């Protein structure tokens, strides 16, 4: 039942996004990685999970903030496509951590946005901001590889006119080489998070250079995309 819900959702997402956005993808083949692993991406909009779900070769179980599970019909659908909630108000949500580790152990792919919310500009890891702590601990405890990912352009769909069919807003996605946790202790976790941040920034630079992205292509606050500022 869950697999059917996911396949229907993925088909509809690809159909809708294909009508309103042209997506360019670099290194998609890296998402064929077998077994359990973590997909770790920057976070620029509420549309990020659909873009990545439609792009990766593997099915993604998203870790999603608990506020997205209301009203209840949305919660039912979220559970049906194998997302699971995390409480961002907690410094460490042990239930979400246990669920992540269990799914990785079963060979699933778990998607995480480690910035802790939608970020752009200097608030984003892409521009030098630190990642929220915790990701390195998951990599250490699970032994699972981490595949970094950078997504640009999904926030263009905050501009209402971009939902006109075939207007074709644009999005750009790049997947990095898998990273593996090495060592032990606090210093090893800090080093891993630094490696991850550097990988994300390198992918960001690659996208900007490859596609000659303009300042307006880069992540903007949702209010600016909506024309409110």
| Predicted local confidence at residue 91, as pLDDT | 64
Question: DSSP letters of 12-25?
Answer: HHHHHHHHHEEEEE
**Residue 78: its pLDDT value, please?**
85
In the structure, what pLDDT confidence band is assigned to residue 2 with cuts at 50, 70 and 90?
confident
Q: Flag whether pLDDT at 216 surpasses 70.
A: yes
**Which run of H or E residues covers position 146?**
strand 146-152
> pTM for this structure?
0.93
User: What integer best gives the mean pLDDT of the chain?
Assistant: 92
**Residue 86 has what pLDDT?**
87
Q: Is 121 helix (H, G, I), strand (E, B) or coil?
A: helix
Per-residue model confidence as pLDDT tens digits over 148-198: 999 999 999 999 999 988 777 999 999 999 999 999 889 999 999 999 999
Please give the pLDDT value at position 214: 95
User: Residues 26, 207: contact at Cβ < 8 Å?
Assistant: yes
Distance from C-alpha of 65 to C-alpha of 169, rounded to nearest angstrom: 27
Lowest mean pLDDT among 43-52, 65-74, 174-183, 200-209: 65-74
- Residue pair 133/153 in contact by the 8 Å Cβ criterion: no
pLDDT in tens, 8-52: 999 999 999 999 999 999 999 999 999 999 999 999 999 999 999
Phi-psi region of 212 (alpha: psi -120 to 50; beta: other; left: phi over 0): left
């Amino acid at each position: 039942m869950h697999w059917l819900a996911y396949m229907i959702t993925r088909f509809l997402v690809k159909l809708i996004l294909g009508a309103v956005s042209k997506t360019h993808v670099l290194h998609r083949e890296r998402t064929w990685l077998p077994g359990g692993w973590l997909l770790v991406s920057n976070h620029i909009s509420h549309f990020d999970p659909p873009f990545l779900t439609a792009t990766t070769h593997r099915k993604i179980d998203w870790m999603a903030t608990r506020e997205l599970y209301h009203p209840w019909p949305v919660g039912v659908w979220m559970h049906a496509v194998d997302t699971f909630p995390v409480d961002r108000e907690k410094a460490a949500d042990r239930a979400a951590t246990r669920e992540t580790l269990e799914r990785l152990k079963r060979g699933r792919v778990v998607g995480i946005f480690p910035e802790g919310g939608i970020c752009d500009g200097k608030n984003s890891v892409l521009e030098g901001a630190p990642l929220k702590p915790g990701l390195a601990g998951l990599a250490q405890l699970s032994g699972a590889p981490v595949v970094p990912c950078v997504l640009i352009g999904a926030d263009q769909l905050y501009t209402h006119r971009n939902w006109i069919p075939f207007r074709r807003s644009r999005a750009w996605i790049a997947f990095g080489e898998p990273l593996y946790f090495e060592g032990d202790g606090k210093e090893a976790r800090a080093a891993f998070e630094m490696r991850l941040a550097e990988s994300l920034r390198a992918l960001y630079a690659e996208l900007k250079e490859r596609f000659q992205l303009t300042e307006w292509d880069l992540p903007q606050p949702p209010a600016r995309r909506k024309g409110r500022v």
